[in-house]
């Protein structure tokens, strides 16, 4: 929808016909773009599976190709961060466009632990209005399909089953007059670990990871050990 609006504005501004083209479609359209000799370069943002296919097929045709795949954006929150500004940023980045955008913030890493932030985070997330995308008061619209909703629900449940705390569950939200809509309310999982399926894939909810810094004394200086969780230790 946004792409079509941009194209219409470009036409109104006087851009000649044929300079900008919006083409909708799935596999066949993608393969035609990869194979067409008139197209010299391809840029893609999306899943790993689609990106690897596009990269191999388009490059085999001699095209220049760039593929940005499997986004899993993180924010690191330090204990002295401005609380109001940080919470507002987490809510906007985590739940804008129902989390279905490549720059969505899916993971918040809290240095010192997420618990001091959780009550206010849940309060602000719960205040977001879930409604149809055409409603003026909507903060979150529906996700793109029934399959997408089912996938999100299953991944959230897998996180809870693996030991994450479900501090806000938006899976059962119902929008009046649209009871069969593909809506997912704001959802927050805490105590997420690196080996959980919900962390390893793109997921349209906010995952909270606790992050502790331990200072280990060495011969010449203090070496801080960073511990995301039991599975992701590292040193700086």
Catalytic residues: 102
Residue 149 CA to residue 153 CA, distance in Å, equals 6
Phi, psi angle pair for 214, to nearest 5° = -115, 125
Instruction: Give the number of C-alpha atoms closer than 13 A to the C-alpha of residue 203, restricted to the C-beta side.
Output: 28
Residue 153 CA to residue 30 CA, distance in Å, equals 29
For 217, the 3-state DSSP assignment is strand
DSSP per residue over 20-72, as a string? S-----SHHHHHHHHH-TT--EEEEEE-HHHHHHHHHHHHHTT-EEEEEE---
Q: How far is CA 65 from CA 22, 26, 153, 158, 182, in A?
A: 19, 18, 34, 35, 34
């Amino acid at each position: 929808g946004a792409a079509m609006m941009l194209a219409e504005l470009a036409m109104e501004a006087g851009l000649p016909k044929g300079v900008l083209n919006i083409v909708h479609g799935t596999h066949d359209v993608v393969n035609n773009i990869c194979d067409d000799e008139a197209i010299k370069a391809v840029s893609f943002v999306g899943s790993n599976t689609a990106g690897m296919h596009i990269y191999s097929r388009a490059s085999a045709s001699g095209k220049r190709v760039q593929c940005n795949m499997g986004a899993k954006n993180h924010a690191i929150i330090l204990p002295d961060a401005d609380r109001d500004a940080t919470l507002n940023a987490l809510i906007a980045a985590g739940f804008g466009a129902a989390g279905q955008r490549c720059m969505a913030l899916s993971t918040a890493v809290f240095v010192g632990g997420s618990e001091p932030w959780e009550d206010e985070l849940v309060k602000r997330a719960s205040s977001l209005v879930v409604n149809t995308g055409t409603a003026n008061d909507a903060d979150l619209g529906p996700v793109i399909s029934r399959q997408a909703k089912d996938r999100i629900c299953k991944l959230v449940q897998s996180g809870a089953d693996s030991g994450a705390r479900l501090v806000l569950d938006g899976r059962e939200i119902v929008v009046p007059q649209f009871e069969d809509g593909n809506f997912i309310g704001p959802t927050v999982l805490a105590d997420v670990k690196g080996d959980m399926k919900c962390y390893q894939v793109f997921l349209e909810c906010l995952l909270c990871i606790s992050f502790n810094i331990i200072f280990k004394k060495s011969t010449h200086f203090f070496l801080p050990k960073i511990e995301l969780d039991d599975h992701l230790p590292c040193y700086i």
